[in-house]
Amino acid sequence: MAPYTPKPVKPQRPISYHPSSLSTLLLAFSIFSLIIGIFGISFSLYALRRPQPAPIFRCRSRDSLREFVALSGARKLGGAGELDYHRPKRVLGFVGIQTTFGSGDRRDALRSTWLASDPDGLLRLEQATGLAFRFVIGRSKDAHKMAMLKKEVEKYRDFMLIDVDEEYSNLPYKTLAYLKAAYELFEADYYVKADDDIYLRPDRLATLLAKERTHSRTYIGCMKKGPVVTDPKMKWYEPSGHLVGNEYFWHAYGPIYILSADLVASIAATKNDSLRMFNHEDVTIGSWMLAMNVHHEDNRAMCDPQCTATSIAVWDIPKCSGLCHPVSKLKQLHQINMCSKSPTLPPEDDE
């Protein structure tokens, strides 16, 4: 076998760059760097100018009116000496008016009818009736909605802000968050859940709450029963209907009901995931009441379809859960003397 002889390595030609090619590469790199720089600056400006959610609503539950009074030296509201801002913290009742981001017109209608329209008026109403009123609303991921809400809060100071997502499907959880927040922020004998589409007489509500009762655990409202809807295609479908049976237990209509302090204290002490949640908020509350040793007080004056000498809350039962056309109907009702100007108590018979 012939000895192995390696092949000679062919020398390679040195690589050379033409001056014009090098200039082209440098120009392309410069243009690319410029584009990246412009993009970075544009993104930074967008991030700085982009509306951000108001940080105030990321905190725990808050009462905007009391914060305003505390921070602004608001003892001057209503004239010197007319309002006592050192009044006891305890109130006869706290009324949480449940509202949403799309209900600004309803809130305006309430402020122009039976509810006060400024901090001074709210405090006067509280002194006159022993009832504190606040709109109750949760949070939104929409920065614009949060910014608009912040402006409304700063203008009227009549909100309780709670740490829960504001969605219709989330109402039972919102109610739980409301009761816990109300119990933390207000020391009251009673806690009222009301919707923003009813006509309310605060003076008569205060008279109802001021009555002496032998039951410390009292659940007040227009009580009802009804069939359980188990068809998913129906409006009032209840996914957990199999736990209930054919008919719901006795519970109050949702537009307005009242829980005594002992009941709310028990609810506030529970863990959030330890309570049964049904699809509907009024049924959910009713199920909690069923599990407690409560007295159900049925009061039809809280679901009157028209203004009378004794009506406390007026709404279009049974057609609507609240007033059917609340913005216009609230203003119409307020023009009726029987609604807005009749005595708190009906005149006694002379017989």
Which pLDDT band holds residue 62 (cuts at 50, 70, 90)?
confident
Residue 274 — very low, low, confident or very high, per pLDDT cuts 50/70/90?
Answer: confident
The maximal CA–CA distance of the chain, rounded, in angstroms, is 144
Does residue 56 form part of some domain? no
**Rounded Cα distance, 153 and 145, in Å:** 12
Whole-number pLDDT of residue 81: 40
pLDDT at site 189: 97
How far apart are alpha carbons 159 and 172 in whole angstroms? 19
Q: Which two tokens stand for residue 161?
A: 């802000």
Reading across the β-sheet that carries 188-195, which strands appear in turn? 62-63, 159-165, 131-139, 91-98, 188-195, 251-260, 218-224, 295-298
Rounded Cα distance between 351 and 332, Å, is 35
pLDDT digits (tens, 9 = 90+) for 308-347: 999 999 999 999 999 999 999 999 999 999 999 999 998 7
Confidence of residue 55 (pLDDT cuts 50, 70, 90): very low
Tell whether 130 is covered by a domain.
yes
Within-domain flag for 12: no
Q: Which residue has the tokens 């706290």?
A: 94
Q: Is 49 helix (H, G, I), strand (E, B) or coil?
A: helix
Which tokens hold the place of 11? 């020398």
CB 126 within 8 A of CB 223: no
CATH number where 282 lies: 3.90.550.10
78 belongs to a structural domain: no
Q: What is the pTM of this model?
A: 0.78
Q: For residue 257, what are the domain limits?
A: 88-340
pLDDT at 288 over 60: yes
Question: Does any domain span residue 46?
Answer: no
CA dist., res. 191 & res. 177, Å (int): 13
Q: Is residue 99 assigned to a domain?
A: yes
- Sign of the torsion formed by the C-alpha atoms of 332, 334, 340 and 341: negative
Q: How confident is the model at residue 59 (pLDDT cuts 50, 70, 90)?
A: very low
Whether pLDDT at 172 is above 70: yes
Contact between residue 207 and residue 97 where contact means Cβ atoms under 8 Å apart: no
In a domain, 72, yes or no: no
Residue 30 within a domain:
no
Q: Please give the mean pLDDT across all residues of the chain.
A: 84
**Closest Cα to residue 61, out of 124, 134, 120?**
134
- Bond before 55 cis per omega within 30 degrees: no
Cα–Cα distance, 162 to 116 (Å, whole number) = 21
Chain centroid offset of residue 316 CA? 22
Number of structural domains in the chain = 1
Check whether 350 has a pLDDT greater than 90.
no
* Residue range 176-200: mean pLDDT, rounded: 96
> Of 336, 347, 339, 335, which Cα lies nearest the Cα of 314?
339
